[in-house]
Every structure is written in structure tokens, then in C-alpha cells.
């Protein structure tokens, strides 16, 4: 890994990484800071028998919020909040 960074391949990888970081930052600038409402949150099930899974539940809900926020330009948004909706890809 350390030696690879000093090769031509390593230099190209670093440039690609920099380019991708700038691309993602520009994409994030297009997103509006909206509140996400998930009307299905009370119907979601998640195991809570272990401490680890209880911690992961918040991550799970945050992932759903993030997906809804990232899809804000794929449909009309009449209000100042995003509505998380089930999708055919959520299986």
C-alpha cells in the first residue's frame, strides 16, 4: 500500500480520489436542507434483544432518511419536508 502510493498508478488513484471528492461535494451542494418525515417509522421492525442491534436501529433509520433526502430531485416537493416512501428497491 505505501509503495503503491509512490507509483504512477498511485498518483492516478490519488487524482481520481480528489476528482470524486469534488464531484460529491458539488452534488451535496445541490441538496436542500429538508426535514425528512417517515410515516412508516412506527411500522418498521428491528431486533432489540442485543445492545449492538439497538445501536444499529438508529443507523437504520438514518439510512432511510438519507435515501429520502438524496431522492429529493426525483419528484415534486411542494412542502419543506421530504416524505420517505417505500420503493421497489427496498426489499
Which grid coordinates are listed for 71? 431522492
Of all residues in the chain, the percent with pLDDT exceeding 70 is: 81
Parent domain of 6: 1-30
Together in a domain, 70 and 40: yes
Same domain, 44 and 71: yes
Check: CB of residue 35 under 8 Å from CB of residue 82: yes
Q: Residue 17 — very low, low, confident or very high, per pLDDT cuts 50/70/90? A: very high
Number of compact structural domains in the chain: 2
pTM: 0.57
> Measured at the alpha carbon of residue 66, what is the angle toward residues 46 and 91, in degrees to the nearest 5?
50
Does residue 61 share a domain with residue 26?
no
Average confidence (pLDDT) over 6-32: 93
- Residue 13 and residue 38 in one domain: no
Residues 49 and 90 occupy one common structural domain: yes
Q: What is the reported pLDDT for 79?
A: 52
Amino acid at each position: 500500500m505505501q509503495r503503491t502510493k509512490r507509483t504512477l498508478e498511485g498518483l492516478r488513484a490519488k487524482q481520481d480520489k480528489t476528482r470524486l471528492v469534488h464531484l460529491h461535494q458539488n452534488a451535496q451542494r445541490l441538496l436542500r436542507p429538508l426535514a425528512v418525515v417517515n410515516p412508516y417509522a412506527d411500522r418498521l421492525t428491528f431486533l432489540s434483544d442485543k445492545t449492538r442491534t439497538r445501536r444499529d436501529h438508529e443507523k437504520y433509520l438514518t439510512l432511510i432518511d438519507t435515501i429520502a433526502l438524496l431522492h429529493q430531485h426525483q419528484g415534486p416537493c411542494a412542502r419543506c419536508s421530504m416524505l420517505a416512501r417505500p420503493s421497489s428497491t427496498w426489499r
